[in-house]
Amino acid sequence: MTGPVADALALGFVKFSVDAGVLRFGEFKTKAGRLSPYFFNAGLFDDGAKLQRLAEFYARRILASGITFDMLFGPAYKGITLVAAVSIELARLGRNVPYAYNRKEAKDHGEGGLLVGAPVKGRVLIVDDVMSAGTSVRESIALINAAQGQACGVIIALDRQEKATESGQDVPYSAVQYVQEQLGLQVAAIATLNDLLQYLAMADDPALGGYASAVRQYRQRYGV
């Protein structure tokens, strides 16, 4: 993210995530088997006030990104809550757009099918929390294409800016870069690992500032 407005948005989001206990520091094992000095768990935006504030950050980032879209799509499960909250906030800001989400298993009664919500059509922006391997995005693209829509971009909360893994091996690009370069989608993030490092460098709390070195070392080892 560039420019003073974007930087303020990113740093504000990092602070909010730390205060909410969503962004934590210590030693955590990632899905790729790495020992990370920080962990971001969007599932801990777990009450109305946190979700409302989270939606504000998403909506502001979407509007600032310049991505042209007609509707929103939330991949199950975390994306369901996110897409509903973000659509409400966008409407509050004057941009009322339809949204849809998928089920993990097709419903065989009632309206049936895998998709719920507005008809999937036009340019579809995918709303997710983080991007580890791009698997969720590829699954969402397949669902959107099958419904005759066109995936146009992805909005996530945090870009870890680290190498993805394939078959247990590090590859020289991140999941975000893969989605941008190989799948041809725009990706916008509310904040990045660089923003997190900037926040730690500015922190008044010595305990927080003390994690900066470990996060920098992690970035040097696994960053792209």
What's the pLDDT band for 27 if we cut at 50, 70, 90? very high
Half-sphere exposure of 51 (CA within 13 A, CB side): 15
Distance CA 158, CA 176 (A): 10
Largest CA distance in the chain: 57
30-47 tens-digit pLDDT? 888 899 999 999 999 999
Question: What pTM, to 2 d.p., does this model score?
Answer: 0.92
B/e letters for 149-185, b = 16+ CB within 10 Å, e = fewer, are: bebbbbbbbbbbbbbbbeeeeeeeebbbbbbbeeeeb
- Given phi > 0 = left and psi -120 to 50 = alpha, else beta, which region is 146? alpha
Residue type, 52: Q
Q: Answer yes or no: 15 catalytic.
A: no
Annotation says 109 is catalytic:
yes
Task: List, for residues 126-164, the tens digit of each pLDDT value.
Answer: 999 998 777 889 999 999 999 999 999 999 999 999 998
Q: Which amino acid is at 145?
A: N
pLDDT of res. 30: 87
Report the C-alpha dihedral over residues 178, 180, 184, 190, rounded to 10 degrees.
Answer: 130
pLDDT in tens, 155-193: 999 999 999 888 778 898 999 999 999 999 999 999 999
- Do residues 151 and 98 lie in contact, with contact meaning Cβ atoms separated by under 8 Å? no
Q: Is 64 exposed, middle or buried (0-12, 13-18, 19+ CB in 10 A)?
A: middle
Tell the CATH topology of 3-222.
Rossmann fold (3.40.50)
Least confident of 1-10, 43-52, 75-84: 1-10
**Catalytic residue of the set 50, 78, 109, 163:** 109
- Give the active site residue among 15, 31, 50, 107: 107
pLDDT in tens, 100-126: 999 877 655 445 578 999 999 999 999
